[in-house]
Amino acid sequence: MPSKSAPAKDNPIRGTIYFLIFGVLTAANFFLAKGAYEKIPDVTPFQILFGRALSPAIIMILYVNVNAKKVMYDAVDRTVLPSLIFRTV
């Protein structure tokens, strides 16, 4: 199935900005985890890991829900729909 959109162009400035945002958010994540552990010493590492995993999961759910119909329904080729339904049921 050929792609309907044009290939994305390289954009090194945008990539650098995303990398810097990633670095800042990772540092904030470590800082907040350390602060939570110092404030509440009874917190277990599992609870901190759960919180670290839950926040990106919520963000991804909100991000995907914006285009959920476009990604999960409109992008599916109608010729493969019966086999896809058979596989999921």
Please give the model's pTM, rounded to 2 decimal places. 0.51
Confidence tier at 19 by pLDDT (50, 70, 90): very high
> Out of 3-7, 30-34, 45-49, which region has the weakest mean confidence (pLDDT)?
3-7
> Residue 82: what pLDDT?
87
- Are 47 and 32 in contact by the 8 Å Cβ rule? The answer is no
Top-confidence residue, 7 or 26: 26
Q: Is 43 within 8 Å of 36 (Cβ atoms)?
A: yes
CB 77 within 8 A of CB 1: yes
List the structure tokens of 30: 């470590």
Among positive and negative, which fits the CA dihedral 4, 10, 11, 16? positive
Average pLDDT over residues 38-53: 88
